[in-house]
Amino acid sequence: MADATGRDLLAIRRRILEEYKKVYIGIHPKRWRSATLRAHERICESMGEDYVNYPEFEFWFLRFARGNFDLDYDRSSDPKHRSFTDLPLDIFENIGEYLKLEDKMRLRNVCKDVRFRVDNCKLRLTEISYSTVNNWRTIKRFCSGSTRNCICFVMSVLKLPNLRLEKLTIQEQDDNWKELIRELDNSNQKLYVKNVEFRYNRSSKIDLHFMIPGVLEVIKMFPVNLTREEFYEIIESEQCQSAKMVYIDSWIETSKFPLNALYNCPRFTLRLRGKHADSAKSKFLKTLMKKGEVQKCVLHALKQILKYFNESKAMVPNFPLLRRYPISGTNEFYELEYREKSVHLERKQ
C-alpha cells in the first residue's frame, strides 16, 4: 500500500506499532500525550523529519492504544476533518466577543484564513486616546511595554480594515505618533474616524490628512501656539471643508488670532478666551456674511455685542435677540441670534 508520494503506508504503520509497543505498558493515561510526542520524536530522528507527520502518527498510536491493530484500515472513510476556520461567522464572532483586543491581534497572526475571519468580525472598539506611545488607551485597555512593541501593536490596530472609530483623542503629536502616521501613509490607508480631538496641542501643526474626508464629522482643537500659515493649511484641508463642525478653543487673543482663515471654513465654532473684543468680533461676523461662504458658525461673545447689529432692516419684530441679513444675489439670508452666551450665525432660505 502506497500513497500519492510513493511512501509505503503499511511500513510506516508497522514502524509506529513498534514504537507503541515500547511505551504502552504501564503508561498512566494522563501521560499519553507526552509519551506520544516522545515516540514521534524518536521515529523522526531515526527515519527523517518527513517520515510521518504528528497528526498521522498520533492517529495510529491512539488506535493501537484502543486495541485496534488493523494496519489495512482505510482512512478515506473517516469523517471530514473540520478546522477552526470552518466555524460559521456568527459563532466565530460570539467567541471573539470574549477575547481582549491584544488576544484578537495575536489570533490574526495564526494564518491568512483566521486573519480574514477576524478582520470580518465586528470590532467593538469605538474610541482611542493617544498620549504617548506607552499610554495608548482604548475604552477597555492600556497598551504598555517597550516602545517598539507598542508601536507595532498600535499600528496593527490602526490597520484593521474593520476599524470604525467614533472618537480619536490625540493628547500629543510626538515623534512616535508621527512615525505611526508615516507607517499608515506607507500602507496607503486612512483611518475611519467620525470625531477627532486634539487636546491642547503645543504644536500649531495639526495633521488631519490620515483621516477619511466626509467620514470625519467633528474636529476639535485647542491650539496653544498657532502660526497663520499652518492654520490656513488646516482650514483649507479636505477634512475641515467637509466636516459638519470644526470646534476651535484657544487662549490666543482675538487681535492675534488668524480670523481671516475662517472666511473659507463652512462650519465652525470659535471660542477665544482672551479679552472680549466685541468690536473686532462683530467686524469679523459682518465680513463673514459679506463673503457668503460660511454655512454655520458659533462665536462665543458677551450679549453686548448685539449693539453692533442694530440696523433697523435686520431687526425681527418680537425677537430682540434675532437679526436677519439678506445675501446679495440670492433668495437666502443669514440669521444671527444671540443665545447661550454665543452668537449663532446660520445661512438659511
| pLDDT, position 119 | 78
188 is written with which cell numbers? 496607503
Question: Per-residue DSSP letters for 233-253?
Answer: HHHHSHHHHH-SEEEEEE-S-
Mean pLDDT score, 54-67: 86
Exposure string of 244-255, with b = 16+ CB inside 10 Å and e = fewer, is ebbbbebebebe
Mean pLDDT comparison of 17-31, 116-130, 141-155, 220-234, highest-scoring range:
220-234
Mean pLDDT score, 133-145: 49
**Confidence class for position 290, pLDDT limits 50, 70, 90:** very high
* Lowest model confidence (mean pLDDT) among 132-141, 155-164, 313-322: 132-141
Residue 216 Ramachandran class (φ > 0 left, ψ -120 to 50 alpha, else beta): beta
Greater model confidence, 7 or 40: 40
pLDDT at 216 over 60: yes
| pLDDT, position 139 | 41
Mean pLDDT score, 178-184: 86
Q: Find cell 483566521 and name the residue.
A: 114
Give the chain's mean pLDDT.
Answer: 84
190 is written with which cell numbers? 486612512
Greater model confidence, 195 or 138: 195
d(CA 111, CA 113): 6
* Lowest model confidence (mean pLDDT) among 33-37, 246-250, 317-321: 33-37
| pLDDT, position 154 | 76
Mean pLDDT score, 175-182: 85
270 is written with which cell numbers? 470659535
d(CA 193, CA 212): 7
pLDDT at 136 over 70: no
